[in-house]
Structure formats: C-alpha cells, structure tokens
Structure 1
C-alpha cells in the first residue's frame, strides 16, 4: 500500500543517525499516489469514488462529494495534489483541495471553479466564506498542481506554482486533509502532506540510486558532488528541470495560467490563438493542419484534448518567446522542424508529445535559447530527434546559454540526435529510454557539457560521442553515471560538466525500471 503515515509528524523531529540525535527541519505526514489501486485510509461522503488508472476519481455530478484522510490533530502543513476537473454540471461549479477539515461541513479549501476563478475559502457548518480569489483559466481534462498551506492563522494557496492567494483566519486550528467536488466530476492524484510551508522536497542529484539487476554491467558511476545551492523543489505535474528555474525575470514556466481558455479546431483558430498577446490556455481538438513553422507568442499553454490531438504538416516556432508549455500533442509530417526553440527564447516546457516523421528535426533548441525542459515525449522512428546549438560557428550567441533538461523520453528506433549538442552546458540527460538507435545516442561537441545519468541504452551501437567530436564538429565534454547498456557499445566520456543540481532539485529513478516506465508513460494521451 503506497499510502503511508510516517513516524515523523512534526517539523522538529529527533532522528538518530549513527547514534547521534539530530533535529530534522521537516517531515512528510502523508502521501498517496493511488498506484496500489485502492483508497485505503480515505473516508467519503457523497458522490461515487473509485481508484482508476492510478488516480482517485469522483464520477457523480449531481451534488457535493468529499473524501478525507489523515489526522484531526494535524496543525501546520502544506497539502499538495494534482487536480483535474472532468465535467461541470452547470455554471459556477468547482473541484477543491481541503485542509484542517473538522468534518464534512467545516474546513479550509481552495476551489477551481468553472467560471475560470480560483478561490481560497472556508466552510463553517456548511456556510461558505470567500477569503481571497483570482482569475484562473480552468480547463476540463487538464491536471493542475494545487497546494494549500495552513500555518498558524495564515492560510494560502497556489496553482501550478503561481496565482498565489493568502488570508489570515483563526477559524480552524487543526484537522484532516481532503478533496471535494461540487456538481462536478474530477480526478485527484499525487497527494502529499508536508510539515513545511511549501511543496514537499524531493531527493537531489546526489541521491541517485545505482542500477540493479542490470542485463549487462553498467559503467561504474561517478559520485555526484553535493550542490552548493539548495534550489526549491517542484510540485508534481509542474514544469521541472531547467524550465522550473527562477531566472530572466520568470520563476519557472507556467504558460497561459491566468488567461482565458480557448478550444481550437481549425487552422485559423489555432494560428489566431498562438499569435494573441497575453496569457492564454489553448486546447487543441482533433487534427489541425498547418504549414511551415508558425510563431508562438509568450505566456501560452498549448495542450491537446484527449489522446489524439494532432498538429499535421507544420510546427511551432519560438522567436524571442518565453513561458510557453507544449503538451499532449502528436506532431506529424512537419515540413521542417516540429518544434523550434530559438533566438533567445526561454522557459519552454515540451512535455508528453509524440513526434512522427518530421522532414528535419523533431525539436531544435538553438540561437541562445535556454531554460528548456523536454520530458516524457515519444520520438517514434524519427530521424533527427533533437539538436542543441545550430552550428559550429554559433559559439558567440550560444556560450553561456542552452541550459536544457531532457528526461523520461522514449527514443524509439529513432536514428540520431538524442540530443546532438554544441556549446550547451549543462545539458542534463537522465532517465531516458534509448531503443535501437541506428546511428548514435548522445553526442557532445564544440565544448558542450552533457551529463548522461540513469538512462537505459538497449541495442545502441554508439551510445555517446564526446572526445572524438562528431562529423565536422570538435570534441565536447560528457560525464556518464548510473547508466545501463544492453547490447550496446561503450559510452565515450571526456572532461567535466557543471552539475545541474546547482540549478534545480531532481530525483534519478533506478535505470533498470526505465524500459517499463518510460514507454508506458511517454507520449500524447498519457498525462
């Protein structure tokens, strides 16, 4: 059972390490990702509740429904969850996250409403009071990472790391956590309760596990130095890696949060939406054909509806753009690149997409772009999968930029560029599945700095190039650790690389699990 109440229940917990008592600064009180298929420990009132596909679903839409868990004695904590509205039955309905719940009719809560608002509220004996509110586009079928913090008389919330709301209220001093719906169906997942006033921390790079049960021995890992800084952890379901870093005036990548939500079904609707000034959540429905590469303005979330949303014939181009999320789309038959991140664009998150048969690259990240994360994508028999740094002569605009994270992607019989790197440092490639890549896996050239860790290479004749360069490009730097190589050649290493753990926190999963985990979770339709 994945639900767990940990022994450490307060911020000042004594922990015995090697016989010496030390003080821990925080603790995880509770977590449930529902991957065990049950909701043990939860009590419900109203609605129809069941665990489906690793999430806790409430499918009734005719009344109130609530589910609660945890201890009534909990006082100061943050509860974080991924929340998705699946249907609203009427106007001004909501889905919610609860804290300090005394009963089914008394608690604090943060509600995502069908009228595109988020509200911080309290319910006292069934009577609701709004403590704070803000505009927020709330889309059916989209997971939002919601946090609710109670600390003394302070009550605050965030959605996707932004849209902060806060208030002072002394109504409730302690209580359980919970989730709720009002005339709505919803899914709830990855629920974590921490005594810290913020998201629950994750392990840093230095805690990378070693490969186990490897089909063939992996190269001995190089210990990871402890980062000199302590970047903040990222809530589940939010942009992570370099896209999460506070830099260049942006504290992470939130896309179109705070703007209106539009559904696009035609070429004209899509091109109008991506060219609109200001934040916007753009939901792509069905197959939309475009030509060439079309520019995307800043502060956009472009997300497919369902499993089959498709961009055919063209792609997206980022020219001095920023804060854009591209998720849950299939790109087919692009005339050039499917996604081109260029000309000093930054804070771009490319997540859970599928790339099929582009004429040139699936993803190019070039010309001084930076703070980009490429995660959980399926490169389905592509040729040129990912280029970082467009030419051997581009050092003047690229050195000091091209900070990229590439994790949990499925490079499925794709031929080359996973990625091919010039100049970027660090480029962080971890927990990806490389399967039968005909030419090579990763190439670091032109003094690029690439960290390759926790990946699984299967039937890849040349997993890594670095010291020898590649094609006409000069040598780069590449460090590998904790990778598994099955039916594959050796990984060529050279030099040292800046540790990405200095910029953000991350957890490297056991590489032996990658062939099962990544194909099951990567690509469109798997958010």
Structure 2
C-alpha cells in the first residue's frame, strides 16, 4: 500500500519557496510586518484531521519574524495568523501560542533555548522548524488543547520532553519529525494520578524518525486509541512504545532496528495499558510486549506504507526541508 504523504506540491517545496519568500521580505524591509495570507503545507492525517480538522492560521495575516522580540510580539496576536520564522531565533522558557495559529519555518529556520506552550487553545500547526537546546519542553500541548498538528520538525539536545501531550488534550497528530541526540521524546498523559485524562489524549504518531533517542516514543497513559504507524525506530536505548494506566495503542507498520524493547505494556510504577501490534518489522530487535486489554478502533481512513520500506521513506522525508 502507498502512504498518502501530506498533500504537497512537490518534495522540498517549502525549502525553495520559503527561502525566496524570506529573501523578498528582507529586501523590502518587511520582517515583523503583517503581509498577505499563507498557510502550512499540506493537511494532517490521523487524529488532527478529526473534530472539524486542523487549519492553523489559514486565512489570517502573515508575519515574518527573525528575532526573539518579533517572535514573542507575534505570539500576542489575535485571530488567525501565520508566523513565518526566518533564521535562528533564541528564546527562553515556555512561550504561549494562541489558537488559530500556524508557526512555519522558512528554509533553515531554528528555535533554540526555549519552547512553545500550547495550552488551553485549539487549531495550531507547527511545521518545518529545527528545535534544539530547550530549557523545559520543546512543545508542550496541555490544558485541553485540541486539533494540534506538529509536522516536519526536528528536535535535539533539550532538557525535557520534545513533544508532550497531556491534561485532557485531544485530536493531535505528530508526523514526519526527526528526533535525535535526545532522551525523552513524547509523553502522552500527565501522571498516573491525573485520571481526568481518561477519554482524551487521542494522538497519532506517523512517519517520525526516532534516531538513537532513549525513550517515550511515545509513553502513553489513559489515551485510547493512540495510533503509532510507519515510524522508524533506530537504536533506541531504553524502549520504543509504552502503554500504561489503561491506555490503548495500535503499533502498526513500524520498523524497529536495534531496539531491545520495542513495546511495553506497563512501565515503571504505572499500571498496565494495552498494545496491539500489527505488521511491524523487528530488525535486530527484541520481542514486543502486547496484550494488556482492548485497543479501541481507529475511526479515520489512512494509507499505510509497507513496514520494510519505512527506513528509506522516513529517513529521507522526516524533518525540516522535506515538505
């Protein structure tokens, strides 16, 4: 079967088009000034396509930013907006992102030092940015946020989670990201005691490259179903996927290479969760743990790549510059 990649005009289209747009903005002295509307590239598959879909700042003003002050000012905006990140911007701490916002990197865009707090909002897209060295989380989705799409970014060398989803958040897709030289990638569920997460935390992870990272790819509490498909797991030190506290995870069509513990049903002091595994490849890897209860049905349509093709597809297509 063929995966329907996010509907893009061509591979690396943003890299060329984004660079041209950024150069034009610089030449005209328009950085930090609202301009004509643009939008993210493509549209999400998975949970972020449900509940009315995820469009970010589509139809709103566009502002191109190249400094911390411009970026933080843009995050104070109201209404739909597209924030285009040009160059490398160093921030600190966690910075609130408003509803109906797309944050999209132009060619070579970086955010270093701090992270994005997507808290109590809806309809947010973060795309085509290299995150590094964050001092808390790189992206924290929490407090009932819904319809969030994190796509074609990279994450390395930060303090805590790269992309965490917790505190009753829902309808989230994490796709085509490259995680490397980092320990904890994605927590789903705040804590064992935060039972308010039951009935929420529906997240899709697809076509991500977990490249030598340690754990939490993802680590799930309560969310059911969480859908993990067509990801490439390479030399993950601790484990691949863990389902706990009654969560339910469908692990489907992934490629595990050099991963001693591909999946866990239960982890640390957390009660068990359910894992259903289907059509995965375990190359030089251990046996997956499965069972632990029922995984709810996936309600949306999706296209699945053959697992044996995943290393080439994902290593060549994940991360910034590949949309």
TM-score scaled by length of structure 2: 0.89
Matched, 1:282 2:83: yes
Matched, 1:263 2:64: yes
Please give the root-mean-square deviation of Cα atoms over the aligned residues, in Å.
2.3
Greater than 4 Å deviation, 4+ residue runs: 52-55, 83-87
Matched, 1:390 2:195: no
Of the candidates 265, 274, 296, which is equivalent to residue 498 of structure 1?
A: 296
Of the candidates 268, 284, 291, which is equivalent to residue 487 of structure 1?
A: 284
The corresponding residue for 2:228 is: 429
Of the candidates 87, 95, 114, which is equivalent to residue 314 of structure 1?
A: 114
> Aligned in 2, Cα 1:138/1:361: closer, same or farther, shift over 3 Å?
closer
Q: By how many angstroms is 1:499 displaced?
A: 1.4
> Aligned in 2, Cα 1:261/1:420: closer, same or farther, shift over 3 Å?
same
Matched, 1:244 2:49: yes
> Aligned in 2, Cα 1:476/1:272: closer, same or farther, shift over 3 Å?
same
Of the candidates 89, 95, 99, which is equivalent to residue 294 of structure 1?
A: 95
Matched, 1:509 2:283: no
Deviation per residue, 1:212-247 (Å, 9 max, x gap): xxxxxxxxxxxxxxxxxxxxxxxxx212210010x2
Q: Secondary structure at the match of 2:186?
A: strand
Q: Distance in 1 between matches of 2:69 and 2:178?
A: 27
- Residues matched between the structures, number: 303
The corresponding residue for 2:3 is: none
Q: By how many angstroms is 1:275 displaced?
A: 2.0
Deviation per residue, 1:398-455 (Å, 9 max, x gap): 0000000000000000000000000001100000000000000000000000000000
Of the candidates 238, 254, 269, which is equivalent to residue 455 of structure 1?
A: 254
Of the candidates 179, 186, 189, which is equivalent to residue 379 of structure 1?
A: 179
Q: Distance in 2 between matches of 1:356 and 1:379?
A: 6
Q: By how many angstroms is 1:461 displaced?
A: 0.2
Deviation per residue, 1:118-157 (Å, 9 max, x gap): xxxxxxxxxxxxxxxxxxx137xx64xxxxxxxxxxxxxx
Aligned 8 A contact 2:111 2:129 in 1: yes
Q: By how many angstroms is 1:86 displaced?
A: 5.8
The corresponding residue for 1:520 is: 316
Q: By how many angstroms is 1:522 displaced?
A: 0.2
Of the candidates 106, 118, 122, which is equivalent to residue 305 of structure 1?
A: 106
> Aligned in 2, Cα 1:345/1:54: closer, same or farther, shift over 3 Å?
closer
Aligned 8 A contact 2:84 2:103 in 1: yes
- Larger gyration radius, structure 1 or structure 2: 1
Q: By how many angstroms is 1:390 displaced?
A: 1.3
Q: Distance in 2 between matches of 1:300 and 1:411?
A: 27
Q: Distance in 1 between matches of 2:18 and 2:86?
A: 18
Q: Distance in 2 between matches of 1:261 and 1:408?
A: 28
Structural mapping, 1:319-330, within 5 Å = 319-330=119-130
Q: Distance in 2 between matches of 1:33 and 1:259?
A: 20
Aligned 8 A contact 2:18 2:106 in 1: no
Q: By how many angstroms is 1:53 displaced?
A: 5.5
Q: Secondary structure at the match of 1:513?
A: helix
| Structure 1 unaligned blocks of 5 or more | 1-31, 35-51, 60-82, 91-114, 117-136, 144-236
Of the candidates 135, 160, 170, which is equivalent to residue 370 of structure 1?
A: 170
Q: Distance in 2 between matches of 1:478 and 1:33?
A: 32
Q: Distance in 2 between matches of 1:386 and 1:407?
A: 13
Q: Distance in 2 between matches of 1:328 and 1:243?
A: 17
Q: Secondary structure at the match of 1:384?
A: coil
Deviation per residue, 1:26-50 (Å, 9 max, x gap): xxxxxx999xxxxxxxxxxxxxxxx
Deviation per residue, 1:276-314 (Å, 9 max, x gap): 1111000000111111110001000000001x2111100
Matched, 1:473 2:274: no
> Aligned in 2, Cα 1:85/1:434: closer, same or farther, shift over 3 Å?
closer
Q: Distance in 1 between matches of 2:218 and 2:141?
A: 14
| Structure 2 unaligned blocks of 5 or more | 1-6, 25-34
Structural mapping, 1:41-120, within 5 Å = 116=36
Matched, 1:343 2:139: no
Deviation per residue, 1:309-349 (Å, 9 max, x gap): 11110000011111000000011100010000000000000
> Aligned in 2, Cα 1:33/1:298: closer, same or farther, shift over 3 Å?
closer
Q: Distance in 1 between matches of 2:119 and 2:316?
A: 33
Q: By how many angstroms is 1:476 displaced?
A: 0.4
Structure scoring higher RCO (CA < 8 A, sep ≥ 6) equals 2
Q: Distance in 2 between matches of 1:54 and 1:523?
A: 11
Deviation per residue, 1:162-210 (Å, 9 max, x gap): xxxxxxxxxxxxxxxxxxxxxxxxxxxxxxxxxxxxxxxxxxxxxxxxx
